[in-house]
Amino acid sequence: MYQRILVPLDGSATAECGLREALAVAQAQRSSLYLLHALESFPLTLGAAPDEAADRLRARLRRYGEDLLGRAAAAASEAGVPSVMLLREVATGRVADVILQEAVRIPADLVVMGTHGRRGFNKLVLGSNAQAVVHGSSVPVLLVRQRETLVPQALPPGSDP
């Protein structure tokens, strides 16, 4: 059913959850993963940094993206899932735009991505790439939320568990 699964990665714990889910789906469906990291270069285009400093930062961001994709590809290989690494720059627009463009270009049958599940003011201020992908995608999108770790609460003295 799903032959080509696009998995956007940004190094966050939520993206890692998305990758794990994509690996499980790919194993079950005998699919290939297209691992995508989008380099956001917008801070470098503001002209605030000298060209030499901007070039060093851009190279460091590129190495980070390559390392991130390499680790994801190694995980896919360990799971017996074929993968392709995609490193793209976000020259203008949002990361969501790059994800949507790659989904069409591949062409992907499914997009699997982690989501922070932000609400209210945080969502308004920070935006939501996941929401933009869901609303703009022509293929199914599977959003994976990171499970919150439950911290045991101390019971008051004399309370039964």
Percent of the chain with pLDDT over 90: 62
- The pLDDT value recorded for residue 155 is 47
- Tens digit of each residue's pLDDT (9 = 90 or more) over 36-69: 999 986 555 555 556 787 788 889 999 999 999 9
Which residue stretches of the chain have pLDDT < 70? 41-50, 117-127, 148-161
Taking the C-alpha atoms of residue 99 and residue 114, their distance in angstroms, rounded to an integer, is 13
Residues 6+ apart with CB under 8 A from 23: 33, 75, 76, 79, 81
- The pLDDT value recorded for residue 83 is 98
Which residues on neighbouring strands pair with residue 112, listed in sequence order? 142
Radius of gyration of the chain (CA): 18
Global pTM value? 0.83
Q: Looking at residue 4, what DSSP letter applies?
A: E
Residues 6+ apart with CB under 8 A from 81: 23, 26, 27, 31, 32, 33
Q: What fold characterizes domain 4-145?
A: Rossmann fold (3.40.50)
- The pLDDT value recorded for residue 119 is 52
120's tokens = 């209210």
Domain extent listing, the chain = 4-145
Taking the C-alpha atoms of residue 24 and residue 42, their distance in angstroms, rounded to an integer, is 34
